[in-house]
């Protein structure tokens, strides 16, 4: 999103695991390189060479699959925030915001399939500020609960809902893998969903510890970790603007 609007840029190919970007472009690289350096990701230019490639195909099935995972994540955002409030679990509330942030990422990915750069950046900025606001409100609530005498959360609801969320994220990952795409927004969505599976397991473990220790501390600790991850994701999204 930082460079694809440049007139000289024709296509981008990402190898996220190797942290490598291939830019198909015309003319010099100065403007491209400067825009990438502004992201402060420790980038460096490797080499430039000429190519005869002119066709850059796009997976027409991406939109359908992205809509599926967006609906799954948004549905579980609603389920987890509702059950999190009922069960008094900050872990579930935090995980619901993580699900919401994923739904936002998938929405941005839908815009990336043929969307305009100006619209993408506006959506990204709105999403980033919205995520950050919700995460900070969540962190304030965690601090309030640490200082107060809150009731121990309902561990059984924490565990059951997190198991269902784990199944949902596993399903989302399976759907994304069907695209067999190497494009950046699809690869990034796979990585986010893989991380969510780890978070779901963390909330399940926290639920077990809440029951074992009869304390809300494990739930609050997991909540803090997830809220901080949401803030980190929001900052990265805002850097794209």
In whole angstroms, what is the distance from residue 100 CA to residue 131 CA?
Answer: 8
Structure confidence at residue 208 (pLDDT): 94
Helix, strand, coil distribution of the chain in percent, nearest 5:
70, 5, 25
Domain match, 213 and 181 both: yes
Q: Which of 40, 56, 72 is the last residue of a domain?
A: 56
Domain match, 48 and 97 both: no
Structure confidence at residue 182 (pLDDT): 62
Q: How many CB atoms lie within 10 A of CB 100?
A: 22
Structure confidence at residue 110 (pLDDT): 73
Domain match, 118 and 66 both: yes
Domain match, 145 and 31 both: no
Per-residue pLDDT tens listing for the chain (241 residues): 778 778 888 888 877 678 888 899 988 888 899 888 888 888 999 999 998 887 765 555 677 788 888 899 899 999 999 999 999 898 998 888 888 878 877 777 676 555 556 666 676 677 778 878 888 888 888 888 888 766 789 999 999 999 999 999 999 888 888 776 666 666 767 777 888 898 899 999 999 999 999 889 999 999 899 888 888 877 877 776 5
Q: Which of 17, 41, 56 is the last residue of a domain?
A: 56
Q: Are 204 and 165 in contact (CB under 8 A)?
A: no
Domain match, 196 and 145 both: yes
Outline where DSSP puts E strands in 86-195: none
Structure confidence at residue 228 (pLDDT): 87
Domain match, 41 and 139 both: no
Domain match, 69 and 10 both: no
Overall domain count for the chain: 2
Structure confidence at residue 98 (pLDDT): 83
Domain match, 120 and 50 both: no
Domain match, 118 and 159 both: yes
Of 137, 136, 135, 155, nearest to 95 by C-alpha is: 135
Structure confidence at residue 78 (pLDDT): 94
Domain match, 145 and 48 both: no
Structure confidence at residue 116 (pLDDT): 59
Q: Are 158 and 88 in contact (CB under 8 A)?
A: no
Structure confidence at residue 58 (pLDDT): 55
- What residue numbers bound the domain in which 48 lies? 1-56
Structure confidence at residue 46 (pLDDT): 92
Domain match, 33 and 123 both: no
Which residue's structure tokens are 């579930």? 92
Q: Which of 11, 32, 56 is the last residue of a domain?
A: 56
Sign of CA dihedral 99, 105, 111, 116: positive
Domain match, 147 and 165 both: yes
Structure confidence at residue 175 (pLDDT): 84
């Amino acid at each position: 999103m930082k460079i694809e609007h440049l007139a000289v840029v024709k296509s981008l190919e990402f190898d996220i695991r190797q942290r490598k970007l291939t830019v198909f472009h015309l003319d010099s690289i100065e403007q491209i390189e400067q825009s990438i350096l502004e992201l402060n990701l420790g980038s460096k230019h490797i080499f430039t060479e000429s190519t005869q490639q002119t066709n850059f195909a796009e997976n027409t099935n991406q939109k359908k699959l992205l809509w599926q995972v967006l609906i799954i994540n948004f549905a579980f955002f609603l389920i987890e925030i509702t059950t999190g409030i009922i069960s008094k679990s900050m872990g579930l509330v935090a995980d619901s915001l993580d699900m919401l942030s994923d739904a936002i990422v998938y929405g941005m990915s839908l815009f990336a399939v043929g969307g305009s750069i100006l619209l993408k950046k506006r959506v990204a900025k709105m999403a980033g500020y919205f995520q950050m606001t919700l995460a900070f409100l969540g962190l304030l609530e965690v601090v309030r609960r640490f200082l107060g005498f809150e009731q121990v959360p309902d561990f059984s609801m924490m565990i059951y809902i997190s198991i269902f969320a784990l199944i949902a994220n596993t399903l989302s990952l399976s759907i994304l893998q069907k695209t067999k795409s190497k494009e950046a927004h699809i690869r990034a969505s796979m990585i986010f969903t893989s991380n969510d599976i780890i978070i779901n397991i963390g909330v399940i473990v926290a639920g077990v510890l809440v029951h074992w220790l009869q304390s809300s501390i494990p739930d609050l600790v997991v909540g803090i970790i997830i809220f901080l991850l949401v803030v980190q994701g929001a900052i990265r999204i805002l850097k794209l603007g």
